């Protein structure tokens, strides 16, 4: 067993063991053990990510396990957001009014399920097999649905139920595509679904294309691509803010990686142009559906949810264009979106404490009434809108340039127009949220959480976002992007 294999096992086992540990320790120690244990769990993920970057030209790929550059990128994101979400959770739980479990067990259940979710998230980028990846994505649905409905309120339970049903239906469609692929692969069995063996599909191009369409349509329901995104606004709005951060910043891109690998693996059978066209179609529709909502006043977390729809569409466009410029943009976009979106959701807890009505309506004038909170929200929304020097501005330019370089002129032009409209909508929302008129507000009904963790994460996010923006223009010529272009061997 190589060092990459050992690190991969430790990366998945660390949060899983932590889930068992928080279920067993005395109640007074649960939060302390969770936060302390999250540090080595994140460290294993980051170490494996660094190893995958160092060996980008020599990925470890087998029937069941793959450690490559794209997977390493997601592991790094999951590690950082997982650690930050764990650190933010005690503050959220102290201010949470209720949960669907008894008060004396709520904290224990929350952290146990959170770490199970984290372990499954780590396993998805490491899956060397489409069938195993599907099972892991399905497992993530069960764990995250519990967390979405954790507050026990009727809207949260409804959102969790909607998320569970709609994404499971989508994954059922994906399973039908997987079954069609398995029937046409030599040897049969789940082992035949290894990424490197999908190109041996022998039942003909029309059948392979039908299976690919079913697979991508099913995964789209989990990724949150339009028009099968209906669960996403409610789930992000009702989930605890640290969970919303993991859902948007880590889970959705991790499932996107499964779609990305499927496209690369099946392109030799169905052709590169049809494989790319499906992703470009989902990307354009997702951005187009998101734009009108970004122009409407809406509650803060719901605004972030529709921003996720837009940005996952941008990532789909980059993967669909498939050029080194576009894939460099995708890599930058995944990291920049994760940091900015996580910061936005972490800011939601103090925002709701500052103004409880923010759960039901758009907020305004936050920079005037709470400068520290306004700064954190401003960094998040400014980065997500693509306002320079946000790395998301640079990544979108790279993706559009990659679209023109790939010859997809009509798609690149349409994407440019939609992204400009999305920028204007989210920029307007940013200005209103920060500098709009301060409404008469009722006194906060809950204790204001400590802003120090959010402020610390905001400082870290600013530094990393600026560093990414500075490095992004030179990324397309690196061995890392060359590995993304090659895909899983």
CB 335 within 8 A of CB 319: no
Q: What is the pLDDT of residue 1?
A: 60
Q: What pLDDT, on the 0 to 100 scale, is given for residue 447? A: 45
Confidence of residue 57 (pLDDT cuts 50, 70, 90): confident
| Buried/exposed code over 322-336 (b: 16+ C-beta within 10 A; e: otherwise) | bbbbbbbbbbbbbbb
> pLDDT-based confidence at 303, cuts 50/70/90?
very high
For 85-110, the pLDDT digits (tens) are 999 999 888 876 666 666 668 889 99
What's the pLDDT at 360?
85
Mean pLDDT of 423-430: 95
Mean pLDDT of 390-418: 96
| pLDDT at 445 exceeding the cut of 50 | no
Which pLDDT does position 188 carry in this prediction?
Answer: 72
pLDDT at 294 over 70: yes
pLDDT, tens digit (0-9, with 9 covering 90-100), for 168-181 = 999 999 999 999 99
Q: What is the mean pLDDT of the chain?
A: 92
Residue 288 pLDDT exceeds 50: yes
Q: Read off the pLDDT of each residue in 199-222 and give the average, rounded to a whole number.
A: 94
pLDDT tens digits, 121-164:
999 999 999 999 999 999 999 999 999 999 888 889 899 999 99
Q: What are the CB-based long-range contacts (under 8 Å, 24+) for 361-364?
A: 361/297, 361/299, 362/297, 362/298, 362/299, 362/300, 362/303, 362/429, 362/432, 362/433, 363/299, 363/300, 363/433, 364/432, 364/433, 364/436, 364/437, 364/438, 364/439
Provide mean pLDDT across the span 360-374: 87
**Confidence band, pLDDT 50/70/90 cuts, at residue 375:** very high
My answer on whether omega of the bond before 257 falls inside 30° of 0, hence cis, is no
How many other CB atoms are found less than 10 A from the CB of residue 31? 20
User: Which tops the pLDDT comparison, 366 or 321?
Assistant: 321
Report which of residues 414 and 449 the model is more confident about.
Answer: 414
pTM across the whole model:
0.95
Closest CA to 75 of 12, 134, 117, 132: 12
Closest CA to 230 of 184, 274, 277, 289: 289
Q: Which of 167, 152, 16, 31 is nearest to 89 (CA)?
A: 31
């Amino acid at each position: 067993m190589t060092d990459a294999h050992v690190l991969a096992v430790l990366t998945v086992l660390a949060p899983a063991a932590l889930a068992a540990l928080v279920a067993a320790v005395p109640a007074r120690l649960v939060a302390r053990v969770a936060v302390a244990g999250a540090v080595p769990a994140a460290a294993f993920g980051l170490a494996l990510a660094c190893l995958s970057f160092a060996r980008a030209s020599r990925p470890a790929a087998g029937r069941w396990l793959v450690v490559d550059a794209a997977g390493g990128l997601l592991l790094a994101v999951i590690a950082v957001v997982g650690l930050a979400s764990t650190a933010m959770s005690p503050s959220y739980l102290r201010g949470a009014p209720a949960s669907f479990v008894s008060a004396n067990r709520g904290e224990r259940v929350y952290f146990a399920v959170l770490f199970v979710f984290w372990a499954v998230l780590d396993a998805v980028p490491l899956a060397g097999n489409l069938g195993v990846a599907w099972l892991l994505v399905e497992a993530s649905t069960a764990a995250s649905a519990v967390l979405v409905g954790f507050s026990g309120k009727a809207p949260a339970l409804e959102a969790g139920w909607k998320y569970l049903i709609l994404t499971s239906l989508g994954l059922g469609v994906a399973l039908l595509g997987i079954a069609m692929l398995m029937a046409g692969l030599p040897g049969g069995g789940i082992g035949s679904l290894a990424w490197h063996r999908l190109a041996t599909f022998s039942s003909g191009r029309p059948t392979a294309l039908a299976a690919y369409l079913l697979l991508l349509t099913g995964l789209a329901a989990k990724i949150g691509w339009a028009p099968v995104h209906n669960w996403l606004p409610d789930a992000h709005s009702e989930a605890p803010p640290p969970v919303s951060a993991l859902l948007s910043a880590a889970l959705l891109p991790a499932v996107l990686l499964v779609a990305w690998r499927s496209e690369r693996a099946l392109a030799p059978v169905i052709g590169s142009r049809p494989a790319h066209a499906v992703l470009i179609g989902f990307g354009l529709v997702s951005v187009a559906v998101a734009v009108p909502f970004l122009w409407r006043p809406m509650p803060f977390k719901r605004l972030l949810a529709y921003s996720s729809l837009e940005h996952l569409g941008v990532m789909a466009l980059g993967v669909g264009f498939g050029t080194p410029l576009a894939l460099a943009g995708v890599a930058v976009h995944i990291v920049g979106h994760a940091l900015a979106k996580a910061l936005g959701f972490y800011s939601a807890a103090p925002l709701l404490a500052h103004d409880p009505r923010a759960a039901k309506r758009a907020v305004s004038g936050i920079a005037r009434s709470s400068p520290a909170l306004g700064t954190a929200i401003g960094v998040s929304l400014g980065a997500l809108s693509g306002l320079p020097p946000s790395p998301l501005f640079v990544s979108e330019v790279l993706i559009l340039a990659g679209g023109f370089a790939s010859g997809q002129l009509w798609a690149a032009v349409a994407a440019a127009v939609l992204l400009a409209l999305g920028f204007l909508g989210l920029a307007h929302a940013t200005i209103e949220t920060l500098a709009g008129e301060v409404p008469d507000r009722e006194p906060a009904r809950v204790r204001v959480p400590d802003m120090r963790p959010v402020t610390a994460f905001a400082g870290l996010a600013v530094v990393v976002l600026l560093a990414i923006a500075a490095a992004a223009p030179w990324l397309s010529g690196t061995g890392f992007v060359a590995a993304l272009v090659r895909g899983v061997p």
